[in-house]
Amino acid sequence: MDLELTPEQRAIQTLAREVAEAEIAPHAGAWDREHRFPDELYPKLAELGLLGVCVPEEYGGAGGDFLSYVLVLEELSRADAGVGVTVAVHTSAATLPILAFGTEEQRARFVPPLARGEQLGAFALTEPGSGSDAGSLRTSAARDGDGWVLNGAKQWITNGSRAGTFVLFARTDPTTAGARGISCFVLDAEHVRITREEEKLGLNSSTTSDLVLEGARVERDRLLHEEGRGFTVAMATLDGGRIGIAAQAVGIAQAAFDVASRYAREREQFGRRIGDFQAIQTKLANMAVEIDAARLLTYRAAWLKQEGRPHAVEGAKAKLFASEMARRQTAEAIQVLGGYGYTKEFPVERYYRDAKITEIYEGTSEIQRLVIARSILGRGLREDRVTAAPRSS
């Protein structure tokens, strides 16, 4: 067992930290207030290889491992969680599934522009009526000669209004309800129409769009993986994506800890620094332990993934713990700052708002517990659920 980062991992962590401190952190408050997607930032991240960290060099990436990518997400999210999610969805939800499931022709065609950051990627699974029950999605892909015609609506699509490439899920077999009849497609921006931008509690520097497909026709070369096996693509993609969200949560919590611990050293009450009081010391100690625990769970899951070993359950554990920890500890950071923490004068209220989503997207905490519980109790749990609540067709 070796808990040291490699020199390559350290180098990319330092690079990400430097760019985050110079180019992101100073603007994060304004982007949040103005609800502004920082278009000008992404060419800079692309130039540094940060939009394809764990993509092999032959496909235009930086050739790093998955842990390096997780370290980058942590650093970006520490400065601005909206930037963190933009890069996370672009990389692990859009680029990596094409690499993992694409034919050589698809990899060579779709991955390099994404990995080089010439365009952003998006992942379109969720629909108005299909969230946690992803297998119930209704967007249809009807056979048309050798290709398909897609119709339907997708909701809460991160990067939707900025993306050039969409990994999108649709039902190719209308006679099969549930996960079996779903296929995965690689679409261009021209195939979809953005209908609405979401207003959110946080992550205001990221975009979250609704979109529709209105008779979009695609040829066979747009089908990713086998017809009817799209749900497996979605689940395997989320298995890796959840590790990225765990890293995002760790980054947000670390940022809150940095502010709270600095404040505890400076703020005086009752003639002493508030850090001299045990009540504050306990909070900071708990924060430090929980951040460390979440980080270790996250790095372990990332390591398992890059070793090609099963990581679904470990990723679920990391995301579950890191996201709940981030929500808890960003609230504690506000408490350390008291009234100042509740104002926009300090960034901790933004961290608190941003942390909440990590308990929801890429699978809610309830779904992470379901994934973990199934690993303990087996498929029986699923059959019980199906018997208790039959899915309508």
The residues annotated as belonging to the active site are 362
Compute the distance between CA of residue 271 and CA of residue 193 in angstroms, rounded to an integer: 60
Please identify which residue in 61, 135, 181, 275 interacts with ligand COS, judged by CB under 6 A.
Answer: 135
Does 365 sit near ligand COS (CB under 6 A)? Answer: no
Nearer to ligand COS, 194 or 370 (CB): 370
CB of 107 to ligand COS, least distance (A): 20
Instruction: Of 8, 31, 154, give the one whose Cα is nearest residue 84.
Output: 31
From residue 236, alpha-carbon distances to 59, 240, 323, 357 in Å are: 21, 7, 20, 21
Compute the distance between CA of residue 312 and CA of residue 329 in angstroms, rounded to an integer: 25
Q: What does the chain come to in residues?
A: 393
Q: What is the largest CA-CA distance in the chain?
A: 80
Point out which residues pair with 143 in neighbouring strands.
Answer: 148
Nearer to ligand COS, 65 or 362 (CB): 362
CB 364, CB 132: distance < 8 Å: yes
Residue 252 CB contacts under 8 Å (≥ 6 apart), including other chains: 77, 78, 81, 84, 326, 330, 351, 354, 355, 358
Please identify which residue in 119, 126, 165, 358 interacts with ligand COS, judged by CB under 6 A.
Answer: 126
Compute the distance between CA of residue 272 and CA of residue 276 in angstroms, rounded to an integer: 7
Nearer to ligand COS, 5 or 370 (CB): 370
- Other beta carbons within 10 angstroms of residue 82's beta carbon come to 30
| Tokens representing residue 154 in the block | 């997708």
Question: What 3-state DSSP class applies to 163?
Answer: strand
Does 362 sit near ligand COS (CB under 6 A)? Answer: yes
Does 216 sit near ligand COS (CB under 6 A)? Answer: no
Please identify which residue in 30, 43, 382, 383 interacts with ligand COS, judged by CB under 6 A.
Answer: 382
Nearer to ligand COS, 140 or 365 (CB): 365
Kindly state the number of chain residues that form the binding site for ligand COS, as judged by CB under 6 A.
Answer: 22
Does 186 sit near ligand COS (CB under 6 A)? Answer: no
Question: What 3-state DSSP class applies to 5?
Answer: coil
Please identify which residue in 134, 280, 302, 325 interacts with ligand COS, judged by CB under 6 A.
Answer: 134
Compute the distance between CA of residue 170 and CA of residue 305 in angstroms, rounded to an integer: 27
Compute the distance between CA of residue 222 and CA of residue 106 in angstroms, rounded to an integer: 8
Compute the distance between CA of residue 207 and CA of residue 343 in angstroms, rounded to an integer: 24
Per-residue contact string for residues 244-283; x = within reach of ligand COS by CB under 6 A: ----------------------------------------
Does 160 sit near ligand COS (CB under 6 A)? Answer: no
CB of 166 to ligand COS, least distance (A): 13
Nearer to ligand COS, 181 or 251 (CB): 181
Nearer to ligand COS, 134 or 274 (CB): 134
CB of 57 to ligand COS, least distance (A): 27
Nearer to ligand COS, 166 or 231 (CB): 231
CB of 149 to ligand COS, least distance (A): 24
Q: Where are the alpha helices (DSSP H) in 219-266?
A: 230-266
Please identify which residue in 50, 62, 98, 125 interacts with ligand COS, judged by CB under 6 A.
Answer: 125
Beta strand 208-218 pairing with 147-158: antiparallel
Please identify which residue in 149, 212, 236, 331 interacts with ligand COS, judged by CB under 6 A.
Answer: 236
Choose one: 5-13, 68-76, 109-117, 175-183; the region binding ligand COS (CB under 6 A): 175-183
Choose one: 55-63, 213-221, 284-292, 356-364; the region binding ligand COS (CB under 6 A): 356-364
Compute the distance between CA of residue 119 and CA of residue 116 in angstroms, rounded to an integer: 8
Contacts with ligand COS by CB under 6 A lie at 125-126, 132, 134-135, 178-180, 231-232, 235-236, 238-239, 312, 361-363, 367, 370-371, 382
